[in-house]
Structures are given as C-alpha cells and as structure tokens.
C-alpha cells in the first residue's frame, strides 16, 4: 500500500464544480468529496442532474462557459467506464477533473469521493504551477 497524497496548498482560493447524478444514492460519495474540499478551503458549487450519462456534457459546458478551477464528478451508473473515458478526454483538453462515477453501490464510499476531490485538487495545483512556465521558444511581442 502506498502512502496517501497530502492535500496541496494554494496561494489563492480554489473554486470547484461538483457535478452530481441523482439517479442512484450518492450521498456517501458527495459527503467525502465535500469534506475534502472543505479541508482544502475550496469554494464548491453543486449542480445536480437526473442521470449520470450527462455528467461529461455538464463538465464540458462548464469548461467553456464558467470559471471553475476544477471539477469533481459524482454518480453511480452501469456506464461508469464509458463516462470515465469521456471525462478523461475532457481532462486531456486541460480540465482538472476528479472522477467519482462508480459502477455499483459497494464502490459508492466516502473514500471514493474524497479521492476524486483530492485528484482534482492535485491537478489544479499542477496546472497553476505550470501556468507561468514557458519552454523558451516562440515569438515575443
């Protein structure tokens, strides 16, 4: 077993969007994620959708139209693997996404919610760290 990652420190506030599907009981997932966000001092906005399948669309929409530092996606669905692949594609475009969409109720734990939030927080920290760095190539105005 590996040691747990420590909570990253931030020099300015973090704003997270929690996208939550309500078609199954996700209370433990949400509780764990909210606790982790509170420990980091993050501001959280929760948006609920009736089904998990639309969660990636909400994250993509928020990336284009809103100002969130990162996303925590929470739900339970038989299509969890497909949702995860779609969220990974959104992440490859630069979004900081923690995925807590699980396939069954036995996986819908507070720990899974905490881990997803922690993943998003670490991606935000890395993104902020690298945001000001350049590779020293290209044109300067």
Domain boundaries, the chain: 15-131
pTM for the model = 0.90
Convert the pLDDT of each residue in 81-136 to its tens digit.
Answer: 999 999 999 999 999 999 999 999 999 999 999 999 999 999 999 999 998 776 66
Convert the pLDDT of each residue in 21-45 to its tens digit.
Answer: 999 999 999 999 999 999 999 999 9
User: Is the CB of residue 42 less than 8 Å from the CB of residue 125?
Assistant: no
Q: Which CATH superfamily groups domain 15-131?
A: Lumazine/riboflavin synthase (3.40.50.960)
Computed over its alpha carbons, how large is the radius of gyration of the chain? 15
> Which residue from 43, 57, 48, 60 is spatially nearest to 22, judged by alpha carbons?
48
């Amino acid at each position: 077993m590996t040691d747990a990652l420590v909570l990253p420190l931030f020099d300015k506030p973090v704003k997270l969007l929690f996208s939550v599907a309500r078609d199954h009981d996700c209370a433990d997932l949400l509780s764990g994620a909210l606790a982790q966000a509170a420990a980091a001092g993050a501001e959280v906005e929760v948006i609920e959708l009736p089904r998990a399948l639309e969660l990636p669309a909400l994250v993509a929409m928020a990336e284009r139209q809103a100002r969130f530092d990162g996303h925590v996606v929470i739900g339970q669905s038989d299509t969890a693997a497909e949702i995860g692949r779609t969220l990974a594609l959104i992440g490859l475009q630069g979004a900081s996404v923690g995925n807590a969409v699980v396939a069954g109720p036995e996986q819908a734990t507070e720990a899974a919610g905490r881990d997803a939030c922690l993943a998003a927080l670490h991606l935000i920290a890395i993104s902020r760290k690298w945001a000001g760095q350049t590779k020293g190539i290209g044109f300067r105005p």
